[in-house]
Chain A
Amino acid sequence: MELARFERLSANAWRMPAQGAMRVPVVIYASEALMRAMDDKVLEQATNVATLPGIVGASYAMPDAHWGYGFPIGGVAAFDPEQGGVVSAGGVGFDISCGVRCLHTGLRREDISRKQNELADMLFRRIPAGLGSTGAIRLGEAEMDAMLTGGARWAVQRGWGEEADLERIEEGGQMKHARPHAVSAQAKRRQRDEMGTLGSGNHYLEVQHVSEIFHPEAATRFGLQEGDVVVMIHCGSRGLGHQIGSEYLKQMALSAAHYGIRLPDRELACAPIASEVGQDYLGAMRAAINCALANREILTHLVREVFREVLPQARLALLYDVSHNTCKVETHGGRKLYVHRKGATRAFGPGHPELPPALREAGQPVLIGGSMGTGSYVLTGTRESESLAFSSACHGAGRAMSRHQALRTWKGRAVVDQLAARGIVVKSPSMRGIAEEAPDAYKDVAAVVDAADAAGLARKVARTEPLVCIKG
């Protein structure tokens, strides 16, 4: 990306003033190297977002921003309903509430070394992963609606999960104001057999060890020590969320003119928050958030069952669960805003009232998944992030190369062997999928996290490295 159009606010913050149809500036948080490597399309899309009605502050992009659809991935934008603000299906993404959760195991690295292969085999057998896989749970109509309203709380009530997990999930595990009736029969049909499935593409389940601590005080509060074994799960709202995203994208594209919204591009399709389409989408999207939370809770239950058999001394306790494709109503500067985070993580600072007592002093855990076989990170929210980007941080590494190019560069089997030589066991139904997700097809997650830390969006707490990776 050409840097001449930006004013540099600090070593890791760049601002392009509002011009033309833009209502607010674009602000990107990244190091100079990440900025130079960033696709021009990020600025183009962030600029388009800045033209939408009711946008507040700036159209933000996180250090891992890349070319998305409509909004950039790694984009954050807040809208004021009092100022004609909008809600956008493309601003949330198709995989609504895709996110990451991290579980303690109570085990140390040496506890699992002799069981690593057995654990990998058993997880791969029990966790439905990849295209076409189905879960053991079939939801009828009434149960589907109960799940869409209840989220992870519903899963716990049905025996898939533990009560103590709930306070360590955003929204207490249950997104309020979900409207199952705004979810189409097709979306529900797509989900019928997909509860408790991991999905495909970049979704994974990893057993990891804590390899480095950067912030001992926060790490202690999070219960993390070097050498600890944790589990990270990355997945979302499965077919239901995808179908809702597709359907409302079309509906918003068709209704925009009716609401007097001039779209610079159809991909920006949106509707006023205070409109029928806007309200229906918000109700459906919240139902999809509950679906994702329930899904990750059920997966956690399956993981606990596996650990109980293979390593009965383990005790899996949830550290935290974050969603990185959402639109949520939050109060910022005394105003109620609709904050879109697409490929961006909420990062509430210490003292935030929405955090459970055990985490209130430390700040919200921000979980950053690395690419397959590289490191992941645990960060903590900062107070200053509130004024930087409505309390938001990055979400992952971001691709450095297209799937197509990755496929021409690597063979899945060779990637598996290379990772095995480094002590990492990878299991997947698809060798082609492994090639497309090869570690080097992604940007350096360390550079992204360092930029988020240096910019003040969140503070680095710990780094983890994989021991077992189940890839969908």
Chain B
Amino acid sequence: MTAARWEHYEHEADVGVRGYGASVAEAFEQAALAMTGAVTDPDAVRPLERVELRCEAPDEELLLGEWLNALVYEMATRRMLFSRFAVQIRDSRLTGEAWGEPVDPARHHPAVEVKGATYTTLRVARHGEGWLAQTVVDV
């Protein structure tokens, strides 16, 4: 089993976000956590409010972009940060939930604003027994 975890990887101007998981869906959840990690410490974000998201795309890689962009949209319009995610994927259709709270600059010290997910180094692929999902987000 690939343990669920996330990390950032180096990109000169922006930030690479990568999630690992036992399934594609779990890797997507972890990639979303990595995206929050580009803004603030995810542990500082309390999962108080729930938001539902839906998106679809012709393949898993474009779906990762759609998922992250759907979250960027919710973060921007609701002025929230998210720290807990639940994703289900069926036939290139994603239904997801994100839990978080309104941005509090004094507590979250948000370093950047994520503008959107790019297709640079975009990959959804097998990793050992599980999956990895990654791309560069423009900040």
Residues of A within 8 A of B (CB): 39, 41, 66-70, 73, 90, 93-95, 130-132, 134, 186, 189-190, 199-201, 239, 242-243, 245-246, 249-250, 253-254, 265-267, 269, 398-399, 402-405, 407, 412, 429-433, 435-436, 472
Is the beta-carbon distance between A130 and B15 smaller than 8 angstroms? no
Could you give, for residues 36-68 of chain B, a 1 whenever the CB lies within 8 Å of some chain A CB and a 0 otherwise? Answer: 001110000000000000000110011001100
A233 to B66, CA, bound (A): 32
Q: Which residues of chain B are near A404, meaning CB under 8 Å?
A: 8, 10, 15
A266 to B119, CA, bound (A): 6
Is the beta-carbon distance between B110 and A66 smaller than 8 angstroms? no
- Nearest A residue to B14 via CB reads A69
Is the beta-carbon distance between B116 and A67 smaller than 8 angstroms? no
Q: Given A69-B14, A253-B119, A404-B15, answer yes or no on A431-B62 (Cβ-Cβ < 8 Å).
A: no
14 A-B residue pairings within 8 Å (CB atoms): A70-B120, A94-B118, A95-B138, A131-B108, A186-B73, A201-B112, A239-B77, A250-B65, A266-B61, A267-B120, A402-B12, A402-B15, A403-B15, A430-B105
Q: Which residues of chain A are near B76, meaning CB under 8 Å?
A: 190, 239, 242-243
A326 to B5, CA, bound (A): 37
Is the beta-carbon distance between A132 and B13 smaller than 8 angstroms? no
Could you give, for residues 108-139 of chain B, a 1 whenever the CB lies within 8 Å of some chain A CB and a 0 otherwise? Answer: 11111101111110100000000000001011
Which of these, B73, B105, B110, contacts A243 with CB under 8 Å? B73
Is the beta-carbon distance between B116 and A246 smaller than 8 angstroms? yes
Is the beta-carbon distance between A403 and B116 smaller than 8 angstroms? no
Q: Given A246-B72, A404-B10, answer yes or no on A429-B110 (Cβ-Cβ < 8 Å).
A: yes
- Nearest 8 pairs of A and B residues by beta carbon: A132-B103, A246-B116, A131-B110, A69-B118, A242-B115, A200-B113, A69-B120, A429-B105
Q: Which residues of chain B are near A190, meaning CB under 8 Å?
A: 73, 76-77
Residues of B within 8 A of A (CB): 8, 10-15, 38-40, 57-58, 61-62, 65-66, 69, 72-73, 76-77, 79, 102-103, 105, 108-113, 115-120, 122, 136, 138-139
- Nearest A residue to B116 via CB reads A246
Is the beta-carbon distance between B13 and A399 smaller than 8 angstroms? yes
A151 to B5, CA, bound (A): 44
Which of these, A90, A249, A430, contacts B109 with CB under 8 Å? A430
Q: Which residues of chain B are near A402, meaning CB under 8 Å?
A: 10-12, 15
Interface-centre pick from B8, B110, B122, B136 (highest chain A CB count, 10 A): B110
- Kindly provide the distance from the CB of B52 to the nearest chain A CB, expressed in whole angstroms: 16
Is the beta-carbon distance between B119 and A433 smaller than 8 angstroms? no
- Kindly provide the distance from the CB of B119 to the nearest chain A CB, expressed in whole angstroms: 4
- Kindly provide the distance from the CB of B105 to the nearest chain A CB, expressed in whole angstroms: 4
Q: Given A67-B11, A399-B13, answer yes or no on A250-B113 (Cβ-Cβ < 8 Å).
A: no
- Nearest A residue to B8 via CB reads A404
Is the beta-carbon distance between A243 and B116 smaller than 8 angstroms? yes
Is the beta-carbon distance between B66 and A250 smaller than 8 angstroms? yes
Is the beta-carbon distance between B10 and A200 smaller than 8 angstroms? no
Is the beta-carbon distance between B69 and A73 smaller than 8 angstroms? no
- Nearest A residue to B39 via CB reads A131
Q: Given A66-B13, A250-B62, answer yes or no on A200-B69 (Cβ-Cβ < 8 Å).
A: no
Q: Which residues of chain B are near A254, meaning CB under 8 Å?
A: 58, 62
Is the beta-carbon distance between B12 and A267 smaller than 8 angstroms? no
- Kindly provide the distance from the CB of B34 to the nearest chain A CB, expressed in whole angstroms: 11
Q: Which residues of chain A are near B15, meaning CB under 8 Å?
A: 402-404
Is the beta-carbon distance between A245 and B77 smaller than 8 angstroms? no
- Kindly provide the distance from the CB of B66 to the nearest chain A CB, expressed in whole angstroms: 7
Q: Which residues of chain A are near B109, meaning CB under 8 Å?
A: 412, 429-433
Is the beta-carbon distance between A253 and B62 smaller than 8 angstroms? yes
Is the beta-carbon distance between A130 and B105 smaller than 8 angstroms? yes
Is the beta-carbon distance between B116 and A245 smaller than 8 angstroms? yes
Is the beta-carbon distance between B10 and A432 smaller than 8 angstroms? no
Q: Given A69-B138, A130-B105, A430-B109, answer yes or no on A245-B13 (Cβ-Cβ < 8 Å).
A: no
Is the beta-carbon distance between A131 and B112 smaller than 8 angstroms? yes
Q: Which residues of chain B are near A73, meaning CB under 8 Å?
A: 13
Q: Which residues of chain B are near A41, meaning CB under 8 Å?
A: 12
Is the beta-carbon distance between B115 and A266 smaller than 8 angstroms? no
Q: Which residues of chain B are near A436, meaning CB under 8 Å?
A: 111-112
- Nearest B residue to A192 via CB reads B77
Further 20 A-B residue pairs, CB within 8 A, beyond A242-B138, A398-B13: A67-B11, A94-B138, A130-B105, A186-B73, A190-B76, A200-B111, A200-B112, A245-B115, A246-B69, A246-B115, A250-B66, A254-B58, A267-B118, A399-B13, A403-B111, A404-B8, A429-B109, A430-B110, A432-B109, A436-B112
